Amino acid sequence: MKQKILVTGGTGYIGSHTVVELQNAGYDVVIVDNLSNSNSDVLDGIEKISGIRPDFKKMDCNDKEGLRVLLQKHPDIKGIIHFAASKAVGESVHKPLLYYRNNIVTLINLLELMPEADIEGIVFSSSCTVYGQPDILPVTEDAPVKPALSPYGNTKQINEEIIRDTIYAGAPFKSIVLRYFNPIGAHPSGEIGELPNGVPQNLVPFLTQTAMGIRKELSVFGDDYNTPDGSCMRDYINVVDLAKAHVIAMNRMLQNKSKEKLEIFNLGTGRGVSVLELITAFEKGTGVKVPHKIVGRREGDIEKVWANPEHANKVLGWTAKESVENTLISAWNWQKKLREKGIQ
């Protein structure tokens, strides 16, 4: 009998890739998504890859009663992966209340409903943003959480505290918090990938749109940082590698592989890559030049952050496998597919 998982935000970038890996691992999946930052066409892409069209319900996770009815309709849901959130750092500065409501109330709704629905565990999408600019690199899970630089980052910190306090108060379920570094790339099939609304804020989608000619030029936000080439450094992780970690985390909870009720893992490659290095890697891997110029620093950017992934490597038995170069090629293949479909 297949075990069933609820994936909130499952038509989104990371969620859709995770749904495919859950299906590949033999799970049944129910997606809840309000399509505020994705499109139901993603379900076609998922089905083309896995051969299985997941259950999908268009719903806002702020609708607690709607979630309750959904869980009553699917009493065999054993676990939840909670991706649904607003995630644009810049937007969060201008619309803090939207972010606090959307990113915190949705989690509280799920945590309150889990006991009555007999759900055994929840995987939560957190972010390396909780570390701010770490004092020591690579950063480990016991690095201090620093004051958030944006309301978005603050919602992730608050969410982690809510989960911690709820578990410690004796909640009858487990949780695994996954702190993602910088997810990039697309499924190798080219059927699903990142589809940002409007002008991309993140580096890689802006880069591939520039390579495609959609954007005139990529602005490199600063080359006067204390890094080897002066540009900021990040830990860019392949989105499929990231998705696979979620399956391992869900297995760990549902198979009771740990006596811990709450675990936190950094999901990164352990390698810091600069903006300029990433541009060079893209050009080398694809043979496509990326027009770019150095401009001033972007407010709120941290200088450099990359993970120490040893805890996830050892405890989860998970390691990021795909190279940044091949991941950038997957991002470019996805951009070309979007062009073929007339989407971008």
Q: Which residues bind ligand WQD (CB under 6 A)?
A: 87, 89, 127, 129, 182, 201-203, 206, 218-221, 232, 234, 275, 298, 301
Residue 201 found at the interface with ligand NAD (CB under 6 A): no
* Residues forming a β-bridge with 174: 121
Which residue out of 27, 131, 152, 225 is catalytically annotated?
A: 152
Closest by alpha carbon to 184, among 281, 104, 102? 281
- Residue 15 CB, shortest distance to ligand NAD, in Å, is 5
Look at residue 33 and give the partner it binds from ligand WQD, ligand NAD, none, a contact being a CB closer than 5 to 8 Å depending on partner kind. Answer: ligand NAD
Instruction: Give the C-alpha separation, 329 to 185, whole Å.
Output: 8
Is residue 251 within 8 Å of 257, Cβ to Cβ?
yes
Question: Kind of pairing, strands 121-127 and 174-180?
Answer: parallel
- Phi, psi of 227, deg, nearest 5: -135, 165
- Helix then strand count (H, E) for the chain reads 12, 13
* Residue 152 is a catalytic residue: yes
**What is the number of the residue whose Cβ is closest to ligand NAD?**
12
C-alpha distances in Å from residue 337, one per residue of 52, 122, 190, 264, 288: 21, 34, 7, 36, 16
Look at residue 232 and give the partner it binds from ligand NAD, ligand WQD, none, a contact being a CB closer than 5 to 8 Å depending on partner kind. Answer: ligand WQD
Q: Judged by CB under 6 A, which of 29, 30, 43, 61 binds ligand NAD? A: 61
Is residue 11 within 8 Å of 37, Cβ to Cβ?
no
Nearer to ligand WQD, 56 or 225 (CB): 225
Nearer to ligand NAD, 81 or 171 (CB): 81
Q: Could you report how far apart the first and last alpha carbons of the chain are, in Å?
A: 41
Nearer to ligand NAD, 125 or 266 (CB): 125
Is residue 5 within 8 Å of 78, Cβ to Cβ?
yes
**What is the number of the residue whose Cβ is closest to ligand WQD?**
232
Look at residue 85 and give the partner it binds from ligand WQD, ligand NAD, none, a contact being a CB closer than 5 to 8 Å depending on partner kind. Answer: ligand NAD
Which one of the spans 59-67, 161-169, 288-296, 325-333 is the region binding ligand NAD (CB under 6 A)?
Answer: 59-67
Interface contacts to ligand NAD, rule CB under 6 A: 8-9, 11-15, 32-38, 60-62, 83-87, 102, 106, 125, 127, 180, 182-183
Q: Which residues are catalytic?
A: 152
